[in-house]
Chains A and B, each alone.
Chain A
Amino acid sequence: MSYVRLVNVTKRFGDVTAVDNLNYEIGKGECFSMLGPSGCGKTTTLRMVAGFEDLSDGEVWVGDRLLSSPKKNHYVPPEKRNFGMVFQAFAVWPHLSVYENVAFPLRIRKLDEKEIDQRTMDALKATNLVKAKDESPDFLSGGGKQRVALARALAINPDVMLLDEPLSSLDPHLREEMRFEIKDLQQKYGFSIIYVTHDQSEAMALSDRILVMKLGVVQQIDTPLNIYNNPANKFVFSFIGLSNFLSVKNDGSLVLPNHEGNIPQSFTLPERLVGEADLSLASRPSEIDFTTMEDPEGLHGVVTRKAFLGEIVDYQIKIGDQFMRVQKSRRDKGPEPGENCALHLLRPFWYAENE
């Protein structure tokens, strides 16, 4: 069942189209991430949903409530949208105590004192802030500040929570901890989340579905697993997880530049790429096995570097004049630098070179 709906949402700044004809629907209680490199339009989209940016075209709906529609000249200001929102730079108010920060949205709604106190304390309990309630948030750590921001957003019991890179100002170890705290809070309160991030592991860990965006255009919307396993295009493949790309020429048969040695027999192009001359062979470093030099499925190369990263051993393999990364567990025995080797690509993907 769809709850938040974006219909043909478009944003133009002068001649630049920052968000181009975006359509998606989010179910109630769903956690939906918008993922992409900086400048891809994900934050602009979130700010349009929040009401901080006007739409150039399209509509934003929540339930049966129309929030923005330039065509119908309809616009609900942010303060009337009833969203919770958490910002990257925390945006907690240093002149108010932790308690007053959280109580602020409730006081604005003119609830009676008893209810304000109860809901504020509930939100503070849920975020482990009861002890710090009378302090200024200036004295809290980054994680503490972000908890205050979360509690403040929770206090109004929102249907939709907008999170704008909420963890990227935090230390890496705190980031993982907060990630699961957010997930727990969502399960407890049942709100929908729209989550903006450039960190794919964050998006993977939290989301029911992920939208990958590039230059204002949607590349793929799917579950984390499907996005990882079946990337819609070369960009999505490169943005999610580690990736290798090899240039391959196609003049009837497939040729790797300056490469002598075996090319796997099973390399065949998907239908849509048969006529394409310049191709790109994509693979993940963790989905490659070493095989024997005699294996007809082996891609021959030379080990140029072997780095021990703890649990993982990272190889650099030279294939023709191109390089590939291979990652194996430290328990697998692999070749040494300078040795010839053969690679078995478990899940090769083919894309046009200039996609």
Chain B
Amino acid sequence: MSQVKTKSSFGVAQLILFLSIAVLVVVVAFPVLLILFNAFWVEDHFNFDGAIMILQQPATYQALKNSLIIAAMSTIGSTIVGTFFAWLVTRTDLPHKKFMKAMFLVPFMLPSFIGAMAWKMLLSPNAGFINQFFMQHLGFTGPVFNIYSYLGISLVEVMYLFPFVFIQVCGALERMDPTLEESARISGAGLFTITRKITIPLVLPSILSGALLIMLYSMAHFGTVAVLGIENGIYNIPTLIYERIHQSGGSFDAIRTGTVLATVLVISAALIIWAQRKILGSGHYQIIGGKSFRPMELKLRGLRMPMMIFCFLYIGFTILLPTVVIFLVGSLKTYGLSFSPENLSLDNFKFILFEYAVTRDAIVNSVTLGFTAAIITMFAGVMISYVIVKMKVRGKGILEFLGMLPFSVPGSVIALGVILAWSGQFGVNFYNTVWIILLAYIARYMAFSLKANSAALEQVHDSLVEASRACGATMWQSLKDIVLPLVKPGMLAAFFLIFLPSLRELTVSIMLYAPTTRTIGVAIYTLNEDGETVISAALAAIALIIIVIGQFIINHFSKKAGV
């Protein structure tokens, strides 16, 4: 008998592991380490007090407080709204439930800073359309609502963030064994008691996990606060980092303040992720049932129509109205004119698509950056996930730890990190080029790719590969003919999960752009800041169209692929 080569793939395995570690180190770990290093290492010695002193400065302290206030308000608001709507569409006899459910997911794909712009146009204290209407026609002496406030910012964030809770709670309620509730009912409990004592406690882990996601997102969120807060002097951590770096042109003080603030973000993100894992790990009950009867529906009776009208009003007010405003303003000849037919035209759209170099370049930049980042991140994600999920190789622990990093590093931290890493100090200078944005995108979206790909890989049971090896295929043939076709849907999902959000990316790009490397998000934001409101709105409208078309293509593909 010929000798069996047991360790034929040993070298290859080591190589793949090394490559995977290298990718994560270069793209994520190194920039983050540089931030921590710069925050605590001053003039050749460790300096913790200095970092504390920076946090005690009034402006930074205020930004910390603001981030917390806004995150807390948005999280509480979104959790209530998301849980309520989830309960309404899964557990009651509300009419048009399917349509409502689809509509409540729409804010997921809309960029919140575009929404914030729309709300600024509607509710800014003096010029907002709604405030003006009340003052001019209904005799109000002051604005009805000032969007430039903690409440205003938080409400706008709630509109765009509540789907995180909504989708989690909907899923939990739909999968929950209905007999858990029926057995409470036969025990004598009424529907209100059941909801309070059985249903809500059972889906509480899902509610909390969604709430923590929102907290994480809101703490590190740039767009809404930048559009609505800065006007009134409300800064949160990401907007303050941006402001400092942007104004000082990268002075030592600004960088140091930035790194200290970023460190706070990294630590709070790590805490949130840790809490979320703990909740999902230990507190998640086995509530998925065997026999699936239709879950009982609460008959809303007299409230049925009012609830339906309420939902339609909510959808109309939070989704339709801002979108319509963006399109209308984008069609105006000059900002300030009334929305009468003679003031509206398609000229702005023609201008930004064919004539204006800034916007044309921005669209090209975003599409190429998004596409390239999606392709690279997709393949890197498959490789890393494969090592983590499937391979048994020494040193995997390091990779598992590194693989957690992308999930807990917020966008503004990544942006600051790549500035520190790739603007010349280490022999490579990408500053002011598209490459630095590309690197930042890869780091930012690596988490999506790892998630989608490891989920797909976990579905591929080891025995499938073993069966293929038993049939005589080599390791590489098995990978190519068995594993790859089975994880293709996951890879495709990863690609779109990266490509679409990158088209509307703002948090990272705004820190890294140069005059020729604006992205769509940056162009919309800067044009709006410069007072080019109609051009900015027109570009935002185009972005919305691209995003919606992209989403349709995804839905089409994922239906076909059965993802």
B185 touches A79 (CB 8 A): yes
How far, in Å, is B13 (CB) from chain A's closest CB? 39
A91 touches B188 (CB 8 A): no
B290 touches A84 (CB 8 A): no
Known: A87-B179, A95-B285. A78 touches B185 (CB 8 A): yes
- The verdict on B130 contacting chain A, using a C-beta distance below 8 Å, is no
Known: A88-B291, A169-B290. A79 touches B182 (CB 8 A): no
How far, in Å, is A75 (CB) from chain B's closest CB? 12
User: Once bound together, how far apart are the Cα atoms of A149 and B177, in whole Å?
Assistant: 15
How many chain A residues touch B (CB < 8 A): the figure is 31
Q: Which residue of A lies closest to B190 (CB)?
A: A79
A84 touches B186 (CB 8 A): yes
How far, in Å, is A286 (CB) from chain B's closest CB? 33
User: Once bound together, how far apart are the Cα atoms of A37 and B139, in whole Å?
Assistant: 73
How far, in Å, is B279 (CB) from chain A's closest CB? 13
User: Once bound together, how far apart are the Cα atoms of A61 and B182, in whole Å?
Assistant: 21
A94 touches B287 (CB 8 A): yes
User: Once bound together, how far apart are the Cα atoms of A117 and B185, in whole Å?
Assistant: 21
B188, B204, B286: the one contacting A79 at CB < 8 Å is B188
A105 touches B188 (CB 8 A): yes
User: Once bound together, how far apart are the Cα atoms of A81 and B187, in whole Å?
Assistant: 9
How far, in Å, is A193 (CB) from chain B's closest CB? 15
Contact with A along B271-304 (1 / 0, CB 8 A): 0000000000000011101110100100000000
- The verdict on A278 contacting chain B, using a C-beta distance below 8 Å, is no
The number of A-B residue pairs with CB atoms under 8 Å apart is 78
- The verdict on A333 contacting chain B, using a C-beta distance below 8 Å, is no
* Residues in B whose Cβ lies below 8 Å from that of A98: none
A79 touches B285 (CB 8 A): no
* Beta-carbon contacts under 8 Å, A74-109 to B: 77-85, 87-89, 91-95, 104-105, 108-109
* Residues in B whose Cβ lies below 8 Å from that of A91: 177, 179-180, 182-183, 289
User: Once bound together, how far apart are the Cα atoms of A227 and B169, in whole Å?
Assistant: 49
Known: A91-B177, A93-B180. A138 touches B285 (CB 8 A): yes
B202 touches A95 (CB 8 A): yes
- The verdict on A267 contacting chain B, using a C-beta distance below 8 Å, is no
How far, in Å, is B443 (CB) from chain A's closest CB? 39
User: Once bound together, how far apart are the Cα atoms of A87 and B201, in whole Å?
Assistant: 20
* Residues in B whose Cβ lies below 8 Å from that of A47: 293
Contact with A along B202-213 (1 / 0, CB 8 A): 101000000000
A84, A95, A152, A165: the one contacting B201 at CB < 8 Å is A95
Q: Which residue of B lies closest to A88 (CB)?
A: B291
* Residues in B whose Cβ lies below 8 Å from that of A152: 183, 187
- The verdict on B184 contacting chain A, using a C-beta distance below 8 Å, is yes
B182 touches A138 (CB 8 A): no
A88 touches B188 (CB 8 A): no
Known: A88-B291, A95-B201, A138-B285. A50 touches B186 (CB 8 A): yes
* Residues in B whose Cβ lies below 8 Å from that of A180: none
User: Across chains A and B, which 5 residue pairs bring their CB atoms closest together, nearest first?
Assistant: A105-B187, A94-B285, A91-B179, A87-B179, A91-B183
Residues of B within 8 A of A (CB): 177, 179-180, 182-190, 193, 197-198, 201-202, 204, 285-287, 289-291, 293, 296
Beyond the given A52-B185, A94-B202, could you list 17 further A-B residue pairs with CB under 8 A, ordered by the A residue number?
A50-B186, A52-B182, A78-B185, A79-B188, A88-B290, A88-B291, A89-B289, A89-B291, A91-B180, A93-B180, A93-B198, A105-B189, A108-B189, A138-B285, A149-B183, A152-B183, A152-B187
